[in-house]
Structure 1
Amino acid sequence: EDEEVDDPTYNPGQLQTARQATEAIQFIALVTNQFWKRWHKEYLIAIKDINKVLRKQSRNKQLVPELGEIVLIKAENVPRGAWQLGKVMRKIYHNDGFIRSVELLTRGRRIERALDLVFPLELSSPLRESADTTFEEAPDEPEEVHRVLRSQTRSQTESQHEEMPDETYE
């Protein structure tokens, strides 16, 4: 805090009236909404495009996330910042033989969503990285799957910390 007070460019701005507070809140809401629109248009679509190129799919094919992959689930009637995350549990083949939707695990329940409504993130599941383990071998109880993922993530984090040089920041 002392650094902020000593910084001549730091100006927290003082709201004097209820009108100023209301205007500040409206401005923040406007900026936030513009951010989410831009993030949706640029970031989410860029992720989809990058994944298409990396997986060498043609432009007319939809991106099919891998089993165990973490995805963002688009929802029309939900604020953009409240879209759920889900984990791909199963690919669903339709009558034409193509994968048109996936089954997702979200907050302990399973839902089905079309490929158009899921956006893979840059994250990859530890199960996907392990060639010995497939998602079909994992138990159906979500608690068991989550426990395995947490322990793998913790061990990966510890190994990353061991590789980092010892530095202290003040």
Structure 2
Amino acid sequence: MPDPLNSSELRRAENFLCRLAQAEMFAEEISNLTSGERVAKNSPLKWLNPFIDRDNILRVGGRLSNAPLTTLLAQVEMCLNSRPLTPMPQDPSDLEVLTPGHFLIGENTQSVPEVDLMRTADNRLDHWELTQKRFQVIWSRWYPEYLQQLQSRATKGCNPPVSIEEGRIVIIKEDNVPSAKWPLGKITKLHPGKDGVVRVVTLRTASAKEVVRAVSKIALLPVLSQSSIIE
């Protein structure tokens, strides 16, 4: 009875069978790569960065090389699709707002809780954590800029401009807000000063908690008037 194959012999046999199968399925690709040419444009391996390794086996290197960038772009897209556009007209008593996600999937997009990595050095992070840190940096810069743009749209882009009044749904400006999270509140009480100008309001949050915030710490949502809808 012959001796059983050792690990080295099994590996060589596996590589031999792999080369036979690849020679039948990807003969043109192997020929191009062996001669130093590029893979044909109509090849299914074109965008996978194929190469020949030291065992003369055809391998690909592009399936995961762009994974961090793809993940980052998908997360940024999720944030864009979660941004509040205007209060939901069906039930103004609820803290529900219309988002681009409603047009895509019928509801607002949801994000997974994450660890804050903004203050962690890059050399202490793995590939996934580094991608999350880049995403958090993008969010921390875009979030306040979008709130400023939203405020300008509500006060200058609407006709008539959106005013501060009871029952109005607003975004509460908070520091260190997690990605794709938009703290919403409903104005329940106005606190005008001696000059009659409202600078402080009382809000009811999604957790039914009453909080007091300065007007500078809230962002009004644009509201379409009936005349604008008819037009």
TM-score (norm 1): 0.50
Which of residues 130, 137, 140 in structure 2 aligns to 1:36? 140
- Equivalent residue number for residue 110 of structure 1: 210
The structural deviation recorded for 1:36 is 3.3
Contact 1:64 1:115 in 2 (8 A): no
CA distance in 2, matches of 1:108, 1:123: 23
Contact 1:73 1:119 in 2 (8 A): yes
**Larger Rg: 1 or 2?**
2
- Structure-to-structure mapping, 1:5-154, within 5 angstroms: 13=64, 22-41=126-145, 43-53=146-156, 54=158, 64-76=163-175, 78-81=176-179, 82=181, 84-106=183-205, 107-122=207-222
Which amino acid is 1:22 matched to? D
The structural deviation recorded for 1:35 is 3.0
Percentage of matched positions with identical amino acids: 19
The structural deviation recorded for 1:79 is 2.9
Contact 1:75 1:83 in 2 (8 A): no
CA distance in 2, matches of 1:119, 1:30: 26
Alpha-carbon deviations, 1:134-155, whole Å to 9, x = none? Answer: xxxxxxxxxxxxxxxxxxxxxx
SS of 2:64's partner is: coil
Contact 1:70 1:123 in 2 (8 A): no
CA distance in 2, matches of 1:32, 1:12: 25
SS of 1:66's partner is: coil
In terms of fraction of residues, the more helix-rich structure is: 1
Provide closer, same or farther for how the CA distance between residues 48 and 9 of structure 1 changes in structure 2, counting only shifts above 3 A: farther
Name stretches of at least 5 consecutive residues in structure 1 with no aligned partner: 1-5, 58-62, 130-170
Provide closer, same or farther for how the CA distance between residues 39 and 79 of structure 1 changes in structure 2, counting only shifts above 3 A: closer
The structural deviation recorded for 1:122 is 4.1
TM-score (norm 2): 0.39
CA-atom RMSD in angstroms = 3.6
SS of 1:68's partner is: coil
Name stretches of at least 5 consecutive residues in structure 2 with no aligned partner: 1-43, 49-61, 68-122, 227-231
